[in-house]
Structure 1
Amino acid sequence: MSFFIRKNVTKRKKPPVQVSKYNNIKKKKTQNHVDDEISSDSSESEHEKEPYSSESDGEKQLTAAEKKVQLAKKYLNEIEEEERRRLEDDDGEQLNKSVIKRLKDDVLEQKGKLKLKLADKLELPTSLFELRNRNHSKAITCLVVSPDDKFAYSASKDASIIQWNLQEKKVHKCLIHNRKKPQNNPTCHKYPVLSLAVSDNYLVSGDSSGLIIVRNPTTLEYIGSLKGHKDSVTGLTICNESNQLFSCSKDKSVKVWNLVDLCYIETLFGHQTEVTSMDMLQKDRVVTAGGMENVVRVWKIQEETQLIFNGIGGSIDTIRKIDSSHFITGGDSGAISLWGTLKKKPLCNVINAHGTHSNNGEPNWISAVGALKNSDLVVSGSCDGVVKFWRCTNNFKSLLPLCSVPVKGFVNELVFTNDGSKLIVAIGNEHRFGRWQNVTGVKNSLHVIKLDFIKN
């Protein structure tokens, strides 16, 4: 039986059309402008007016083309500025090479063909610094990094959200829920925050009550709320091209939202048990982990279909994208699985990747996995006191251990900075989903690990 599920998987609704007064105002202004031209020269004949109308249409088309050129120039200038800041010297030749390489990488990434072999060049990672704040009084559950790598955002079971300045190594802003005086900040979460997502324009958080809050990522100013999930929001991801938000929940559903209009678009059904994690593979293609259902689903939003991938057993609790056609998962079976979108079973499994528990002999749960985007370097975490680095080999058909970095506590999230220079680890004294086990003497914090790669 094919693992393509086609029609009637979801009843897709058309995205809402925003009706703006701007279009009407613009029409009126255009009409008034034409009327003014006519009234100012009453001797002008109807025959003389036709060429003017034709010229205006040509100017509009030319303006649209010019806008595309201006956007391309602006994008090129931004890349040049970023590469100039990255390079220590202002060598024009080196700058041109860096810009050309960046443009080629962008094209390959859009096509899903960018593969960076960095794992072999990785030097022994070292712990750089630790970020800790008393407002995270309970276990840190989730973590994201801003697109410019300036800020990291972490959330906790105590409903707090902290914005960290990675350059200054300190708290920039903090949002907390005061249980004694909840009216002081009604826009804050009142229940444990289990998921975060960030883009250039939005910071989105979801809690155990099913509430999703949208904020400005720089100022943390409240923008709005999204309600619809009936249980904990366990995963969030944003599509930058369409400004759509995807959310998954313990209520077994995946929902699609419009962040511009702050409205609901549709619900994707298929999972038979709670959905535990999700990530964006590419535009309009999302991958979700099905928990105890022991399946992974890839949702093709435009085609209204889904692909079903079968795990090796246990609950699949965490999932992360490697590139547009590969991803990695982990769960309570203690195994790390490497997947490709062209095969419905894992390409590779590492059994007991973090060993077994000393008390009961059961495998240590894989509580977090991460991947340096479009490369062969992946990481995993558990409660065994280490973060392990792995190399994808043999065309993503095997995983080889590279090294490990000691940390104490549950590793609840692993996130690489976008430039690949750091790995940020979210540490908690218990698993992000429950309190089945508690590691004593652990301080809830973020560990920033420095990554150095051998240069050719």
Structure 2
Amino acid sequence: MSFFIRKNVTKRKKPPVRVNNNNIKKKKTRNHVDDEISSESSESEHDEHFSSESDSERQLTAAEKKVQLAKKYLSEIEEEERRRLEDDNEEQVNKSVLKRLKDDVLEQKGKLKIKVADGLSFPTDIFELRSKKHTKAITCLVISPNDKFAYSASKDATLVQWDLQEFKAKNVLIHNRKKPQDNQTHHNCPILSLAVSENYLVSGDNSGLIIVRNPITLDYIGKLTGHKGCVTGLTICNETQQLFSCSKDKSLKVWNLVDLCYVETLFGHQTEVTSIDMLQKDRVISAGGMENIIRVWKIQEETQLIFNGVGGSIDTVKKIDNAHFITGGDNGILSIWGSLKKKPFCNVNNAHGVSSNNGEPNWISAVGALANSDLVVSGSYDGTIKFWRCSNNFKTLLPLFNVSIQGFVNSLVFTNDGSKLIVAIGNEHRYGRWHSVTGVKNSLHVIKLNFIKN
């Protein structure tokens, strides 16, 4: 059974009725002839199309095209490593490029594992980034692929672009209640989700509206509509330039960012979908909230895998590598999963302790993972951020240390180079207002990570 619904699916045409009456004029078969294309006309159009191409393009074989792409990819990596090292030493650059290529191969196979957790020491440098425009709780956070910018959004429909090199707000977009005409290219209700790539910054709000922007200038590119509930999660596939969104309307949707169009809808969740992440090129993971189920969607195969939790609501999910992911929820259980096993590899009960007010487990409101490593983090509504080490082939989670910040931890994101952890703090939970922490400033906290080199 397929759970993928595509738009504009053409119906299968009935075969034409064969008529043997020779008295019928040929004019009556005109519609039938127009609908069909003969092989001769197809071949002539085909030849005419290819005659416009250059001889060099026509002579390239599939293998030669692969070689061209490989050379282009190699030159891009070499240039990136040269800039990163800030050195023209060819031997050093070649070593760095070779390591990048090996890591890329291992990552594609889901076998890249970087052990850094043992060398992590307690952070001493924590910077607070605050904007007066965030008058309500910050709900979501993303970091640009080059680690230059961070983007945060809040319940007051404010979007802030932060410069992570100068540690200050660079651009701010707000909802202007006095001038409705200024809001035609911006949200007018709480923004709950963000996603960013090299070419696009995407935001989703409480009404189901998705807006696409330029990630550097924040210029409006377009909007996507179709969800019937608030957009709770967004993620972008860099290889295909496709956007995946999840919503409280119990569905996931696939969008084409290049053409700004809808592709298909993924059905299967029976309750509100609370979180989403990209596992690998053709696989997406989503959390089903009170359904207590994680679903892995195989996009090309149009199938899905179901992973059963251990009770409560699964509110947040984050990729660790191509084969593992981490989840947390209102039952206080932190879980590590593998894509080949339907039950968690590891469960940590009461991962953030028990509330002194009601004796219930403290709610895990956010999780994060340093990509392809053994380092993960979790955050709670009491402001505690816990660092964990994955060991025993992801079958054990060992606590490292805690960092306390007052307020709700609504998002945890590592920079791509692994040097910093960015924390989004709000005075209330990103989805509701059932509990508010007084005296909390809505802000970002930048935790500088110190790794001891062996």
Name the TM tier (shorter chain): 0.7 to 0.9
**2:120 aligned partner, one-letter code:** L
Q: Does 1:11 align with 2:5?
A: yes
Cα offset, 1:120, TM superposition: 1.0
Which runs of structure 2 are paired with 1:298-313 in the superposition (5 Å)?
Answer: 298-313=296-311
Deviations 1:70-106 (A, max 9, x none): 5434432332233233336554322221111011101
Equivalent of residue 80 in structure 2, options 72, 79, 82: 82
Q: Distance in 1 between matches of 2:295 and 2:50?
A: 55
Which runs of structure 2 are paired with 1:274-353 in the superposition (5 Å)?
Answer: 274-353=272-351
Q: Does 1:211 align with 2:205?
A: no
Deviations 1:350-372 (A, max 9, x none): 11111122211211110000000
User: Residue 292 and residue 32 in structure 1: after superposition, are their counterparts in 2 closer, same or farther (change >3 A)?
Assistant: closer
Contact 1:118 / 1:377 at 8 angstroms: preserved in 2? Answer: yes
Query: 2:262 maps to which residue?
Result: 264
User: Residue 447 and residue 59 in structure 1: after superposition, are their counterparts in 2 closer, same or farther (change >3 A)?
Assistant: closer
Deviations 1:270-315 (A, max 9, x none): 1111000000101121000000011111111111111111111111
Cα offset, 1:435, TM superposition: 1.0
Q: Distance in 2 between matches of 1:132 and 1:58?
A: 56
User: Residue 285 and residue 63 in structure 1: after superposition, are their counterparts in 2 closer, same or farther (change >3 A)?
Assistant: closer
Q: Distance in 2 between matches of 1:427 and 1:33?
A: 57
User: Residue 277 and residue 59 in structure 1: after superposition, are their counterparts in 2 closer, same or farther (change >3 A)?
Assistant: closer
**2:4 aligned partner, one-letter code:** T
**1:212 aligned partner, one-letter code:** I
Partner SS, residue 93 of structure 2: helix
Equivalent of residue 386 in structure 1, options 384, 387, 402: 384
Partner SS, residue 351 of structure 2: coil
Q: Distance in 2 between matches of 1:34 and 1:290?
A: 53
TM-score using structure 2 length: 0.87
Cα offset, 1:422, TM superposition: 0.6
Decide which moves more: 379-388 or 220-229.
Answer: 379-388
Query: 1:121 maps to which residue?
Result: 119
Q: Which runs of 5+ in 1 are unaligned?
A: 1-6, 17-26, 36-52
Query: 1:254 maps to which residue?
Result: 252
Q: Distance in 1 between matches of 2:160 and 2:129?
A: 11
User: Residue 381 and residue 59 in structure 1: after superposition, are their counterparts in 2 closer, same or farther (change >3 A)?
Assistant: closer
Deviations 1:232-254 (A, max 9, x none): 10000111111111100001011
Partner SS, residue 328 of structure 1: strand
Q: Which runs of 5+ in 2 are unaligned?
A: 11-43
Cα offset, 1:125, TM superposition: 2.1
Percent identity between matched residues is 76
Q: Distance in 2 between matches of 1:126 and 1:244?
A: 39
Equivalent of residue 133 in structure 1, options 119, 131, 134: 131
Contact 1:12 / 1:304 at 8 angstroms: preserved in 2? Answer: no
**1:193 aligned partner, one-letter code:** I
Query: 1:437 maps to which residue?
Result: 435
Deviations 1:145-165 (A, max 9, x none): 001111100000000111111
**2:166 aligned partner, one-letter code:** E
Cα offset, 1:437, TM superposition: 1.1
Deviations 1:199-218 (A, max 9, x none): 11111100000000011111
Q: Distance in 1 between matches of 2:402 and 2:91?
A: 38
Q: Distance in 2 between matches of 1:87 and 1:59?
A: 37
Q: Distance in 1 between matches of 2:353 and 2:413?
A: 22
Deviations 1:399-421 (A, max 9, x none): 00011222111100000011111
Q: Distance in 1 between matches of 2:51 and 2:271?
A: 62
Query: 2:29 maps to which residue?
Result: none
Partner SS, residue 11 of structure 1: strand
Equivalent of residue 177 in structure 2, options 176, 179, 193: 179
How many residues of Structure 1 are paired with residues of Structure 2 in the alignment? Answer: 420
Contact 1:127 / 1:447 at 8 angstroms: preserved in 2? Answer: no
Query: 2:191 maps to which residue?
Result: 193
Contact 1:203 / 1:215 at 8 angstroms: preserved in 2? Answer: yes
Which runs of structure 2 are paired with 1:39-54 in the superposition (5 Å)?
Answer: none
Contact 1:127 / 1:450 at 8 angstroms: preserved in 2? Answer: yes
Equivalent of residue 399 in structure 1, options 389, 397, 400: 397
Cα offset, 1:58, TM superposition: 5.6
Q: Distance in 2 between matches of 1:163 and 1:131?
A: 11
Cα offset, 1:14, TM superposition: 7.7
Decide which moves more: 95-104 or 245-254.
Answer: 95-104
User: Residue 67 and residue 171 in structure 1: after superposition, are their counterparts in 2 closer, same or farther (change >3 A)?
Assistant: farther
Kindly report the root-mean-square deviation, in angstroms, between the aligned alpha carbons of the 2 structures.
Answer: 2.4
User: Residue 59 and residue 440 in structure 1: after superposition, are their counterparts in 2 closer, same or farther (change >3 A)?
Assistant: closer
Deviations 1:334-353 (A, max 9, x none): 11111111111111111111
Query: 1:372 maps to which residue?
Result: 370
Contact 1:15 / 1:265 at 8 angstroms: preserved in 2? Answer: no
**1:452 aligned partner, one-letter code:** N
